[in-house]
Amino acid sequence: MLIYVLVSLTVAFTSVAIDCSSRELQKYDLQSIKGTHSFITTDNTPPTKREMTWNIGICDSVRDVPGCPENSEFCVITKVLSDNESPVISEIIAFSSDTERIYSPENHPHQGFRIRYEPIEWGDSIVSATLEFVCEPDVNTGVELVWHSSNERKLNIRMVTKAVCLKNDQDKNPKDDGESWGWFTWIFIFLVLFLSIYIIGGAWFQYNKGNAIDFQSALKEVIENFLELLSSLPSFIREIIEKFTRSGNRGEYSAV
């Protein structure tokens, strides 16, 4: 008797397979391992054996795998193997490319990342999955399976590949993408802080000298002096520029 269970969940989260263009994955060279990767694991479950084929679509959906539904990103096919009978498909669990997922850095000394799929309905059960990609510079075969586990509610798989090793040392310390403060911002902050100290300190000094009736009057006097200084600043700068300009013109004339 064939037990054929097929599930594919559609959630409002659009992407194409493992979305290699996503911001979280830009620093990895996933295009070098683009395509469908399949791994076969076998468990001895007397009197039969259980064969699981793990199919993963990287930068593209799972293709040319009989049994996996269209638009699958992660598809696991389980077969029951018997000595005297043909293999029987017992389970098909498929996470479509629309399934909601979370990318996170791999907690591993060799870098990498993890994909955690949100739970989907699978028959009468709820199933989730976690894919781990670990950096291994010495892997030359694309992607290798190093560990897996499965139960009625969760699928786990760990793979090693050099495609998830950071491209260069600069990626370990990402460049400023504009979200951090630049040097100009810090200069502006220090300038404002200096002016505030100057105004308040000057007012306090005037107040202590007794040249003003109260601190508020002293503060007003310092601010007026500061504004007067600012108003004279453009003419001062213009005068300096004119001096340099005249000097340059004289130099050119002398050269002629």
- Whole-number pLDDT of residue 20: 83
| Contacts within 8 Å (CB) and 24+ apart, 119-126 | 120/7, 120/9, 120/95, 121/7, 121/9, 122/5, 122/7, 122/93, 123/5, 123/7, 125/152, 125/153, 126/153
- Whole-number pLDDT of residue 213: 52
d(CA 45, CA 81): 9
Can you read off the two tokens belonging to residue 219? Answer: 């503060």
- Which residues does 52 contact at the CB level (< 8 Å), separation at least 6? 40, 41, 42, 43, 76, 77, 78, 79, 148, 150
d(CA 87, CA 40): 14
* 6-171 under CATH 2.70.130.10, yes or no: yes
- Whole-number pLDDT of residue 170: 44
The per-residue pLDDT string of the chain (256 residues; one tens digit each, 9 = 90 and over) reads: 223 333 333 233 334 457 788 888 888 999 999 999 999 999 999 999 999 999 999 999 999 999 999 999 999 999 999 988 899 999 999 999 888 888 888 666 568 899 999 999 988 889 999 999 999 888 877 888 888 888 768 999 999 999 998 765 444 444 444 545 566 677 778 777 777 776 677 666 666 665 545 666 666 776 777 777 767 767 777 777 777 676 555 444 443 3
- Whole-number pLDDT of residue 14: 36
Q: Where are the domains of the chain?
A: 6-171, 183-255
Sort 150 into a burial class: Cβ within 10 Å, 0-12 / 13-18 / 19+: buried
d(CA 117, CA 97): 10
Give pTM, 2 decimals. 0.58
